[in-house]
Structure 1
């Protein structure tokens, strides 16, 4: 009777969305679990403690979706996740990445503007006898150069192939 804890550790625990926990005492594939629970994905649950907070005050659970070919291992905890939850998580991740990229682009543009403003101030201090039109021309040239580099960067991106000929409608005779 004292070995009951050993059998609990040697089980695959699957948490269902309703709160029910299913225990399997043999390794099984994720595809079998998904066949038994249509409309659900299998996810591996792991505890994650951020490195900056090692005192144990903040613990996060990470959820990693499994492929259908993956095997559920004994001693691990898995959760069934509905396909709607998966789609919401994917959308949230895309939005988060997009916001992060926008913030980076805004920051770069801000730094470039500050750099251009500094150069205009330096040009104004160095050549006080220059006319305002010369300073404006230099600023415009710098702006054009900046736009050229962004167009070169966009040209380096791969484009999808499109046929150059229009489709010809077939006539039935």
Structure 2
């Protein structure tokens, strides 16, 4: 008995933007597909499962990741590929660049705030050390000692007689 689905697994599946599915029964170069579909890139479709750590019985969230292929890459049998328009690619690259800039800007602001906080903590610690230093070392010197000049009393002998 033969396996009728074995031939289906040995195909290159190319999904077009309009929903049409193209099957090729031999490996081919990505440049050939891009030539026959101008204005489109070929992307490898990869399924990822994100597991939620809080829920142990859940099967996770299914994510589809796309990796854009270079024209010299070969489309392999058994893989699924998707055609993506060049506008979608430029939009995605722009969004990625914007996200990267936003994240780096947020990191820079966070780093500056941490530096300011450390600087303030150092100043407070130094002021505390100065206060303790002056109170300990100056404690002996701060006692009030009168510096009165002595008054001499002259006693006349004839006053007591």
Q: Looking at both structures, which has the greater relative contact order when contacts are Cα pairs under 8 Å and sequence separation is at least 6?
A: 2
- Cα distance in 1 for partners of 2:31, 2:52 equals 37
Structure 1: 4+ residue segments shifted above 3 A = 50-55
Answer yes or no: is 1:24 the counterpart of 2:27. Answer: no
How does the TM-score come out when normalised to structure 1? 0.70
Deviates more, 1:84-93 or 1:99-108: 99-108
Deviates more, 1:11-20 or 1:1-10: 1-10
Deviates more, 1:15-24 or 1:46-55: 46-55
Deviation at 1:89, TM superposition (A): 0.6
* Matched length: 130
The runs of 5 or more residues in structure 1 that have no matched partner are 131-173
Q: Select 1:85's aligned residue among 85, 88, 93.
A: 88
Deviation at 1:30, TM superposition (A): 0.3
- Cα distance in 2 for partners of 1:89, 1:109 equals 30
The runs of 5 or more residues in structure 2 that have no matched partner are 134-161
Answer yes or no: is 1:12 the counterpart of 2:12. Answer: yes
Contact 2:52 2:60 (C-alpha < 8 Å) held by counterparts: no
- Cα distance in 1 for partners of 2:3, 2:130 equals 88
- Determine which structure has the larger helix proportion and give its number: 1
Answer yes or no: is 1:95 the counterpart of 2:98. Answer: yes
Deviation at 1:3, TM superposition (A): 2.4
- Cα distance in 1 for partners of 2:99, 2:36 equals 33
User: C-alpha root-mean-square deviation of aligned residues, in Å?
Assistant: 2.0
Answer yes or no: is 1:44 the counterpart of 2:47. Answer: no
